[in-house]
Amino acid sequence: MRKLFKRVVSFFLIPITRWYLRKERTHRYGKLTIKIPPTVFHPGLFPSTHFLLTYVQEHNIYNKTILELGCGSGLISVWAATQNAKVVSCDLNPVAVKACRENAIQNHVDIEVYQSDLFVGIPDTKFDWIIINPPYYAKKVKNPEELAWHCGEYFEYFERLFSDLRTYTHNSSHVAMVLTQGCDLDSIRKIANRHNFQLELKREKHVLFDGKDFIFEIQDLQTRQ
């Protein structure tokens, strides 16, 4: 019954959402105003961004160095910069990169923003925090809009993430990532384990379609040896 309900609602909701996102939209979060252009992930329509941001807010990030991989319109990055964090943000979608830069200016904060496929364009730095709201569905990307959702047919995004992650962390780094029950968690865990990382569950939350969202911190097993 639940699967049937999900299919029926999705049949109507997905076209409406796509229609709504064809124009630039505005999202307000506290005192922040974030503009979201077409093809960029909307942090207000989907729960993962706020869930991840709430987790980060539980920690003291004052004066910390932070990298947000896949920043989208930049809500998390902009908020972190208001806390005096030193923020670097990146996204593969050039529209998202432009939006993040403009949202930083509009909200009077400084952020270094790069167009980058994961770490490719990021200067070599050991960050205190890396924050990731990844594309987690195992499908091939066909257009810029799908960059926020699809990680490749064979989880290529996660293979590259865990292959390069260690270069950008130190022994005390926090690497926080949000995933959903609706993706293939087992495959992502196996990729992490192959690279000697472990996903440690920190929070979970019920969501409408995918059952639950989860916050994981990625633990480097090499540092424990």
Residue extents of the structural domains in the chain: 2-224
As a whole-number percent, the residues of the chain with pLDDT over 70 amount to 89
Is the predicted pLDDT of residue 20 greater than 80, yes or no? no
Q: Please tell me the predicted confidence (pLDDT) of residue 9.
A: 43
Structure pTM? 0.91
Q: What is the mean pLDDT of the chain?
A: 90
Q: Give the sign of the dihedral formed by CA 102, CA 103, CA 104, CA 109.
A: positive
Is the predicted pLDDT of residue 146 greater than 90, yes or no? no
Half-sphere exposure in the Cβ direction for 178 (13 Å, CA): 27
Is the predicted pLDDT of residue 23 greater than 90, yes or no? no
- For the purposes of burial, counting CB atoms within 10 Å of the CB of 224, is it exposed (0-12), middle (13-18) or buried (19 or more)? exposed
Q: Which fold has domain 2-224?
A: Rossmann fold (3.40.50)
Q: Which of 65-74, 77-86, 91-100, 146-155 has the lowest mean pLDDT?
A: 146-155
